[in-house]
Amino acid sequence: MRVITGSARGRRLKTLDGLEIRPTADKVKEAVFSIIQFDVEGSAVLDLFSGSGQLGIEALSRGANSCVFVDSSRASLGITKENIETVGFSDRAVTANADAAAYLKTCKKTFDIAFLDPPYNKGIIPKILPLLSERMSARGIAVCEHEKGLELPEQAGELKKYRPYRYGKIEVTVYKCRLDEE
C-alpha cells in the first residue's frame, strides 16, 4: 500500500493484518481520486472508519488542508498515527478513537470531503449518512466504499446520490450536496 501522488508520492503505508482489515485497493483509490481530483485542494477531510488512514493521507498528499481520522479500533488508529507521522502530516491531521455515529453526533467541525469505508455487510452507511450530512459543507462530497449490491438511499439530508461506480466486487457511491450546479 502506497501514496499514489502528491507531496508524499510513493511513500509506503502500513496496515494491520487480519481478516477484519480490508485496505482500499490501489486501483479503487486511484479511481476515487480521479472522481474528486478538483475538489481536494484546500479541503477539510473526514476519514471515517479510517483503518490505516490511507484515504485521508492521500487527500493530504494531494493538497487537502486538514483531515480528521476516526476509527473505533485502537489498533487501527495506532497504525493511522504511525502512517501520518511517516509521511510528515502530523500538523494537518487529528485522530479520534470513537464510534463513527458517536463522533458525528458530538463533532462541531464541517467537512468538504468525507470518506466512508466501513466493515461490509453490516448496513452501516445508510445509518451514518444522515448524521454525516449535518457535518458537510455546502460543497460537500461523501465517497462511500461498500460491497456490491448494497442499496443506498437517493438522498440523506443535503447529500444527494451523484453516481455509483463499480470495481469488481466493490462499489463506490458518491454523494454531493450541490448536484443542481453540475
What's the CA gap between 157 and 72, in Å, rounded? 25
What's the CA gap between 49 and 137, in Å, rounded? 20
Could you tell me if residue 88 is inside a domain? yes
Could you tell me if residue 8 is inside a domain? no
CB hemisphere CA count around 146 (13 angstroms): 18
Predicted pLDDT at 72: 94
CB atoms within 10 A of CB 151: 6
Q: Supply the range of the domain harboring residue 78.
A: 41-181
Q: Is 124 left (phi over 0), alpha (psi -120 to 50) or beta?
A: alpha
Helix (H, G, I), strand (E, B) or coil at 154: coil
Q: How many domains does the chain have?
A: 1
The single-letter code of the amino acid at 137 is S
> 54-61 and 26-35 are packed helices; what angle lies between their axes, rounded to 10 degrees?
50
Could you tell me if residue 75 is inside a domain? yes
Could you tell me if residue 134 is inside a domain? yes
Could you tell me if residue 18 is inside a domain? no
Q: How high is the mean pLDDT of the chain?
A: 90
What's the CA gap between 94 and 7, in Å, rounded? 19
Helix (H, G, I), strand (E, B) or coil at 181: helix
Could you tell me if residue 147 is inside a domain? yes
Ranking 30-34, 90-94, 97-101, 129-133 by mean pLDDT, the lowest is 30-34
Could you tell me if residue 141 is inside a domain? yes
pTM as predicted: 0.92
Could you tell me if residue 36 is inside a domain? no
Q: pLDDT (tens digit, 9 = 90+) per residue, 98-138?
A: 999 999 999 999 999 999 999 888 989 999 999 999 999 99
What's the CA gap between 164 and 181, in Å, rounded? 19
CATH number, position 108: 3.40.50.150
First to last CA, the chain: 33
**What DSSP string runs through 35-86?**
HSTTT-TT-EEEEET-TT-HHHHHHHHTT-SEEEEEES-HHHHHHHHHHHHH
Q: What pLDDT band is residue 19 in, cutting at 50, 70 and 90? A: very low
What's the CA gap between 164 and 153, in Å, rounded? 12
